[in-house]
Structure 1
């Protein structure tokens, strides 16, 4: 059997994003039951897969609107689930979970508003947004590593970095997409 050509694998990034969505339930269950080593392993797999699907999509030109939406949905479900459960269990600050969830809620409401009022949305995460997601994943891994074996990895500084990136990224989304919405609305009136 001949090896699969890259074009035959063009849906692989989407499949990886779907895998991340599927991992949310077992990760949430493991976190809820304080099965820290197993949760750490699955969060690490999810974090690596987030980078892998993006790399494959960009490297081979397999980007699609569906892929962008699946990636964003997978990220938001995973991160919100982890932050909410860890905050509920008292393992991370409630205020930090609120900042992370608030940012994602604002972005989701904005995307829904765009879809209802303007039309189809083309997900375009900024470099700032990607840095925010990466910082959140690194923070979660550090918290879980601290719970598993290395308590010295708990870092209030990293939590503040996550919060600052969430606020900056959220403001960036609001400003950029508000400007686009204004231009779309204004051009539609002309």
Structure 2
């Protein structure tokens, strides 16, 4: 397993070693002990698994959960391909507002780990794409928020001209709007979750 740190602090890109033969393939797709070894702190237990199926051009996100509590995520694309985007939404972080995009697909089978406090979204690049998420806290709608994926302040470079989005995501406030309302996670609170 090859694990590299992203430009957004605390986020990792994970590429599993695949063992293939005439029967197919085998791989270890999630190893929290190895992630912890790279980050130098424990990885919260993943308590819920989610699966989303999307058509080409669907943009989901940018989603995040309130901290404390928060929601760390481990994301991989089981079928098709997506452009996965990680955004640092932690107020006070040296990388606040920075984002990074990573292609996840069913060939390389890479995954992304995001600690609590980061925003996450993706765009489906193939006719259909199935994305699996492991998360550290169950979904709690009252604690979940979205940032406008097309906010010019973020400047995310999506590979499509017209996105298919949920009503919630289309109506998501800007980064500045969330900051003004005090809804973004604080960097210090996020660090407390991993100590």
Q: If the TM-score is normalised by the length of the shorter chain, which range does it land in?
A: under 0.3
What is the TM-score when the length of structure 1 is the normalising length? 0.25
Q: Which has the higher contact order (CA 8 A, sep 6+)?
A: 2
More strand by share: 2
